[in-house]
C-alpha cells in the first residue's frame, strides 16, 4: 500500500472527512488518490521553469472561475495570498476582468479557450503564448496545468454531487 496524505486538496475543498462514505470510497484507489495529489504538488512546484507559481495559481483561479468551481477558487485565492500575489491582479482575475500584463492576459485567454472551448486550443492559440514570451517548456507546463485543473474540477464536482445524493437519500 502506498503512503498518501490523510487529507489532500480534494478532501479539503469538497470537504471530505474520514466519517464519510466518499472519503472511504476515494481511498479504495490509493494510487489515484496519491497521483491526484502528486500531480497537484508537481503542477505548483517552484521547480517548473518559465511560468511562476503565482502565474500558475492565477491560471488555476481563472479556470475555477470559468468552471464555477467556487470551493476550489477559494483554495487558489488562499494560495495566491500565501504566495504574496498582487491583490489587485488576483481581484481582476477573480472577477474576469482584463489584467494589464500582456503575457498574463495571453495565458488567461488560452486557459479560457481550453476550459470552455477546447477545440480552439489550436496552433494559433499556442502561437499566441509564444508571441507573449512563453518558452516551449512554459507552454507545455501551462497546457499540462490546464488539463490537470479540468480533471481536478471534475473530481471535486463529482464528489460534491455524490455527497448531495447521500444527504438527500
* pLDDT surpasses 50 at 127: yes
C-alpha cell at 109: 485567454
Query: For position 84, which CATH number holds?
Result: 1.20.1290.10
What's the farthest any 2 CA atoms get from each other in the chain?
53
Query: Is 116 part of a structural domain of the chain?
Result: yes
Query: Is 43 part of a structural domain of the chain?
Result: no
* Spatial distance between the Cα atoms of 63 and 40, rounded to a whole number of angstroms: 14
The closest of 43, 39, 61 to 112, measured between CA atoms, is 61
* pLDDT surpasses 50 at 5: no
Query: Is 6 part of a structural domain of the chain?
Result: no
> Could you report the per-residue pLDDT of 109-122, keeping only the tens digit for each?
999 999 999 888 88
At 17 the pLDDT is: 85
Whole-angstrom CA distances from 80 to 83, 86, 122, 137, 166 are 5, 8, 29, 23, 33
Query: Is 86 part of a structural domain of the chain?
Result: yes
- Domain tally, the chain: 1
Query: Is 20 part of a structural domain of the chain?
Result: no
Q: What is the mean pLDDT of residues 18-25?
A: 87
CB 80 within 8 A of CB 54: yes
Question: What is the domain range of residue 95?
Answer: 50-168
Query: Is 152 part of a structural domain of the chain?
Result: yes
Q: What is the dihedral of CA 81, 85, 90, 93, to 10 degrees?
A: -130
Amino acid at each position: 500500500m502506498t503512503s498518501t496524505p490523510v487529507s489532500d486538496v480534494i478532501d479539503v475543498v469538497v470537504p471530505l472527512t474520514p466519517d464519510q462514505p466518499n472519503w472511504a470510497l476515494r481511498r479504495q484507489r490509493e494510487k489515484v488518490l496519491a497521483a491526484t495529489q502528486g500531480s497537484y504538488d508537481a503542477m505548483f512546484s517552484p521547480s517548473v521553469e518559465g511560468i511562476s507559481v503565482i502565474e500558475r495559481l492565477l491560471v488555476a483561479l481563472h479556470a475555477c472561475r470559468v468552471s464555477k468551481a467556487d470551493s476550489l477558487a477559494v483554495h487558489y485565492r488562499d494560495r495566491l495570498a500565501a504566495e504574496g500575489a498582487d491583490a489587485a491582479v488576483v481581484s481582476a482575475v477573480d472577477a474576469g476582468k482584463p489584467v494589464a500584463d500582456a503575457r498574463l492576459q495571453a495565458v488567461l485567454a488560452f486557459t479560457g479557450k481550453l476550459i470552455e472551448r477546447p477545440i480552439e486550443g489550436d496552433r494559433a492559440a499556442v502561437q499566441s503564448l509564444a508571441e507573449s514570451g512563453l518558452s516551449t517548456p512554459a507552454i507545455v507546463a501551462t497546457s499540462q496545468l490546464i488539463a490537470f485543473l479540468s480533471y481536478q474540477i471534475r473530481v471535486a464536482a463529482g464528489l460534491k454531487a455524490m455527497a448531495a445524493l447521500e444527504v438527500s437519500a
